[in-house]
Amino acid sequence: MNKLESLKSLYKPYRYTIKGKCTILETTSGNFVIKKKPLQKDLVSIFNYLKSRNFIYFPEIISSSRDDTYVYEYIEDNGYIDPTKSEDLITLVAHLHAKTSFNKDVSEESYKEIYEDIKNNIMYLRDYYLKYYELFIKNIYPSPAEYAFLRNYSKIQAALSFSERELDDWYNLVRDKKSERISLVHNNLSLDHFIRGEKDCLISWDKAKFDTPVLDLVTLYQNNFWELEFSTIYNRYLQISSLTNEEQKLFFILISLVPEMKFDENEFNNTKRVRKNLDYIFKTEQFLKPYYATDTE
């Protein structure tokens, strides 16, 4: 008997629905969510820690006795299309960070490793886009995707140059620091992983870990940049859980790294991907502009 059949035998659902990586069981005694346990991640301990920090906005684990499966309470999303949903999400995230933050001693090499990792990523992206520029510029009649890329190539390079300059400034701020502020981060944030119901909840905690709170802001921005008015969300976050100068700078650096534009034989898909990535660059530029405005008075 496989695990699903075993659980169906135990809970006797009158209906079950497979949704992504979850199975929803509807029973006469309540509804439950079945999900595979993440590798090397004890969510029971993580949730107990959150409770000890007075953060309860996650689905309760009903059963963890099986080796490979968690059984969660089912929380019904109210389904309302509400522009304030993103503000409620960031409010939870800000409280999560504020309630679980602490300073951790780090070695001299810790910040250097972060600096070198990001620097190498910037160099990789420069070479990646230069390769396509040199390829497309040879075409007498570029395709729509190639034309859009060539026309905005300078924007891509400007974004990477901005990240590189800010990265050097960031490293000068942190190179002599002996500690780092970390918190429990969800590490998989998106609007799809937030439920508004009788109890607001963050779901999909499989990637949770202790790290810089900047990670959650970067992930949310990259996953939902187009749907969100991030200036409002960011200001709401800062009202509850502030960032240091170096944390804010790191956030700005990471969101300025231009996502890779994939090209294949399908011109329609190529054009959509180029347009989406250019939208990301333009929207990020608009978001960051007020923080780098020069006083001309």
Per-residue pLDDT of the chain (297 residues; tens, 9 = 90+): 456 666 666 667 778 888 888 888 888 888 889 899 888 789 999 999 999 999 999 999 998 888 888 999 998 887 666 678 899 999 999 999 999 999 999 988 999 999 999 999 999 999 999 999 999 999 999 999 999 999 999 999 999 999 999 999 999 999 999 999 999 999 999 999 999 888 899 999 999 999 999 999 999 999 999 888 899 999 999 999 999 999 999 999 999 999 898 899 999 999 999 999 999 999 999 999 999 976 434
Gap between the Cα atoms of 144 and 270, Å rounded: 9
Q: How far does CA 259 lie from the centroid of its chain? A: 14
Gap between the Cα atoms of 38 and 188, Å rounded: 13
Q: Looking at residue 133, which CATH number applies to its domain? A: 3.90.1200
Does residue 93 sit within a domain? no
Q: How far does CA 17 lie from the centroid of its chain? A: 27
* Per-residue pLDDT, 265: 92
Gap between the Cα atoms of 73 and 203, Å rounded: 11
Residues in CB range of 147: below 8 A, 6 or more apart: none
Residues in CB range of 54: below 8 A, 6 or more apart: 99
* Per-residue pLDDT, 249: 97
Does residue 179 sit within a domain? yes
Does residue 235 sit within a domain? yes
- Domain tally, the chain: 1
Smallest Cα–Cα separation from 46: which of 96, 94, 7, 89? 96
Tokens of 186: 């969800």
Structural domain of 163? 100-292
Smallest Cα–Cα separation from 191: which of 282, 92, 118, 53? 92
Does residue 159 sit within a domain? yes
Does residue 181 sit within a domain? yes
Does residue 191 sit within a domain? yes
Does residue 94 sit within a domain? no
For the whole model, what pTM was predicted? 0.90
* Per-residue pLDDT, 53: 97
Does residue 8 sit within a domain? no
Between the two ends of the chain, the Cα-to-Cα distance in Å is 75
Gap between the Cα atoms of 180 and 97, Å rounded: 14
